[in-house]
């Protein structure tokens, strides 16, 4: 996979409800079972889109997650919190692509 650009789009801050509302009929953005499991309504419904080359780096989210795959598959590797001390990690700077498709660190 080295040297191959992977197209990947994402928006947060409740982007599914605000930026992608035309897709509302295609997926239930707040399944009832999620409220039952977490004991509260969802804080946000976000959107990610990528192909088979898109890989998410190892990270920790500071909140609970519900993940829905519309088409294709996504593989998760979960680690218990007590393993954090044994995992190698480093900082990856935030970047964006410019209008020419070049990666621009922020």
Q: pLDDT, tens digit, for every residue of 11-36?
A: 777 777 777 778 777 777 667 788 88
Q: pLDDT, tens digit, for every residue of 41-99?
A: 878 777 788 887 777 778 778 777 778 787 888 888 889 989 988 887 777 677 777 77
**pTM surpassing 0.75?**
no
Distance CA 42, CA 20 (A): 17
The larger pLDDT score, comparing residue 5 to residue 98, is at 98
User: For residue 3, what pLDDT band results from cuts at 50, 70 and 90?
Assistant: low
- How many CB atoms are closer than 10 A to CB 34? 17
């Amino acid at each position: 996979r080295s040297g191959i650009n992977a197209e990947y789009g994402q928006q947060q801050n409740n982007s599914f409800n605000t930026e992608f509302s035309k897709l509302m009929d295609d997926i239930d953005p707040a399944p009832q079972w999620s409220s039952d499991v977490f004991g509260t309504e969802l804080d946000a419904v976000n959107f990610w889109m990528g192909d088979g080359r898109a890989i998410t780096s190892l990270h920790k989210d500071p909140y609970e997650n519900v993940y829905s795959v519309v088409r294709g598959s996504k593989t998760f590797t979960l680690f218990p919190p007590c393993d954090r001390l044994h995992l190698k990690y480093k900082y990856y700077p935030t970047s964006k692509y410019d209008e020419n498709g070049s990666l621009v660190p922020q």
